[in-house]
Chains A and B, each alone.
Chain A
Amino acid sequence: MDASPVGENREYIQVHRFQLWFSVLGGAVAWTLHLLLSYGVAEFGCVSPFRTIDWIGLSGVAWLEILVTLLTLAVAVASTLIALRIKRRLLGDAAASSSAASDGRVFMARSGVMAGAIFVFIIVVEALPILYFLRDC
């Protein structure tokens, strides 16, 4: 939240708390959306006329699934990049300085980079099934 400085000698770098939390949880939220929407589209699409729509060789369901994947992937990638940026900003040149190590926000940004990367990977893997069901459920 609006964290106050821990290491007092350092100049306090402002990071908006929304940015900070998004950097940690953005990937996770994107993944959640990806799974729920993918499931919803499949559950709904596979019993509706949507599955029979054929557009450039792909069913309506497949198109929607691809759209969902691209959108959520974009969110996950954005969160990873933001986490990376926050981490660089907070650490600055003094990567090893003790005050940086004591700042919980550095830890959050660091986790954000790792979590974001993992969730990007998971979303990509989770999109693999779409390739097997391009024309039908």
Chain B
Amino acid sequence: MLKSSLLAESSLPRPRPVRRRSLQLVPWAGVALLLSGCQGDRVQSSLHPAGPAAEAVAQLWWVLLTILGLYTLAVFVLTALAIFRRNPLGRRARYQGRAFILVGGVILPAVILVPLLIYSLTTTVALHQPDTGLTIRVVGHRWWWEIEYPGQGIVTANEIYIPVGEPVQLELTSADVIHSFWVPQLHGKRDLLPGQTSAFWIEAERAGVFRGQCAEFCGLQHAHMALTVEALPPEEFAAWIAGQQRPGDAPADSELADSELADSEVADSELADSELADSELGDSEVADRYASPRVAAGRSAFFRHGCAACHAIAGTRAVGQAGPDLTYIGSRPTLGAATIPNTRKNLLAWVANPQAIKPGVNMPPTHAPAEEIEAIVSYLQSLQYEREEE
């Protein structure tokens, strides 16, 4: 597969001007197919655009490849001819040579480059920051993303939900070093600079999950600083907003918050080996999640082990700012800034020792008996927002 793809790349089919906006319809299917990838499912590819900005840039690329590719081929052919042919230039070689140099090396490139510059400028202006749309604030941290919807009062981390079909304004800044926000299927990059806010925007044309990643080297775990953007149809997005706006942990003032549950109680719990964790919590289960002693024990362990010093959970006394907000951690698709999928097994491993998964991450290992960690994980998994069934 790989080899053939490389071969295909070097022998470009004769390209025609790209007229289509949609990538799937790019005329010269060979190269397109190759670059779109063999697997079809590229989660972080700038050549699989899902929004107008990324699409404009992808189209720009096909034009550039066509024109510059042809020029390159011409230079290669001329080089080969130069070496293998006898001298067709006569005594006037010097003058013919000069004309050849000026036409091929200066005038022709100028004729190519000036329209390219104009095309580039037109695209730049077309991708200008729109004036309207939802505003999301993104703060880069080493090595995770703090996501805030200032108008909606929602704070989350490493996941962005946007409505399909409308531009979303991003306010980008950093809490420490320079990061760069990059979700290739939606738009290019914009740096997150400490001490200043940059404006950026994204827009998705279709629903889906799009992976993004920090693109500016930011230290030890730069490789594991990713995020997901999920575009939802407007109704679903509204539902998501509504769900997120409820306090994450309803019985904030209940006795559970401060009650101490004996370890033995957790250990004895019949739920210890249950399948609860991997199952989706249904509405009814969410409603009475605190009926589960396991979750209650986990909640208490969460506070006892100092997790709240760094993490916040809306509606509780956990208001730590150093780490990601955990209000609806149970509903998040990934853990550790999109390092691993959010499964029970992964969450257990993460809580127990994140250093094994993401060495150097700021979160220390949790020194607690296995049952307590199980309980904490159960508690975290119970933190899910209510999806309203439409």
Question: Is A125 an interface residue when CB atoms closer than 8 A count as contact?
Answer: yes
Residues of B within 8 A of A (CB): 106, 110, 113-114, 117-118, 121-122, 124-125
**Contact status B124-A132, CB under 8 Å:** yes
Bound state CA distance, A12 and B298, in angstroms? Answer: 98
List residues of A (91-129) whose CB comes within 8 Å of B's CBs.
118, 121, 125, 128-129
Bound state CA distance, A132 and B114, in angstroms? Answer: 14
Contacts of B118 in A (CB 8 A): 128
**Contact status A125-B125, CB under 8 Å:** no
Contacts of B113 in A (CB 8 A): 125
**Contact status B121-A125, CB under 8 Å:** no
Bound state CA distance, A30 and B137, in angstroms? Answer: 43
* A contact face: mostly helix, strand, loop, or mixed: helix
6 contacts across the A-B interface (CB closer than 8 A) = A121-B110, A125-B114, A128-B114, A128-B117, A128-B118, A132-B125
Bound state CA distance, A121 and B113, in angstroms? Answer: 12
Contacts of A125 in B (CB 8 A): 113-114, 117
Bound state CA distance, A49 and B113, in angstroms? Answer: 34
B74 CB, min distance to chain A CBs, angstroms: 22
Contacts of B121 in A (CB 8 A): 128-129, 132
Bound state CA distance, A133 and B128, in angstroms? Answer: 11
Bound state CA distance, A128 and B110, in angstroms? Answer: 14
Nearest residue, chain A, Cβ from B128: A136
Bound state CA distance, A118 and B102, in angstroms? Answer: 11
Contacts of B124 in A (CB 8 A): 132
The 6 lowest CB-CB distance pairs between A and B, nearest first, are: A132-B121, A132-B125, A129-B121, A125-B114, A128-B117, A125-B117
Nearest residue, chain B, Cβ from A117: B106
A65 CB, min distance to chain B CBs, angstroms: 14
Bound state CA distance, A30 and B114, in angstroms? Answer: 21
Bound state CA distance, A118 and B110, in angstroms? Answer: 10
Given contacts A118-B106, A121-B110, A132-B125, 10 further A-B contacts (CB under 8 A): A125-B114, A125-B117, A128-B114, A128-B117, A128-B118, A128-B121, A129-B121, A132-B121, A132-B122, A133-B125
B211 CB, min distance to chain A CBs, angstroms: 32
Contacts of B106 in A (CB 8 A): 118
B191 CB, min distance to chain A CBs, angstroms: 17
A27 CB, min distance to chain B CBs, angstroms: 15
Nearest residue, chain A, Cβ from B106: A118
A122 CB, min distance to chain B CBs, angstroms: 10
Bound state CA distance, A121 and B106, in angstroms? Answer: 11
Bound state CA distance, A133 and B122, in angstroms? Answer: 11
Nearest residue, chain B, Cβ from A121: B110
Bound state CA distance, A121 and B121, in angstroms? Answer: 18
Bound state CA distance, A125 and B112, in angstroms? Answer: 13
Contacts of A118 in B (CB 8 A): 106
Bound state CA distance, A74 and B106, in angstroms? Answer: 23
A84 CB, min distance to chain B CBs, angstroms: 17
Contacts of A133 in B (CB 8 A): 125
A69 CB, min distance to chain B CBs, angstroms: 15
Bound state CA distance, A125 and B125, in angstroms? Answer: 17
B173 CB, min distance to chain A CBs, angstroms: 17
Bound state CA distance, A129 and B113, in angstroms? Answer: 14
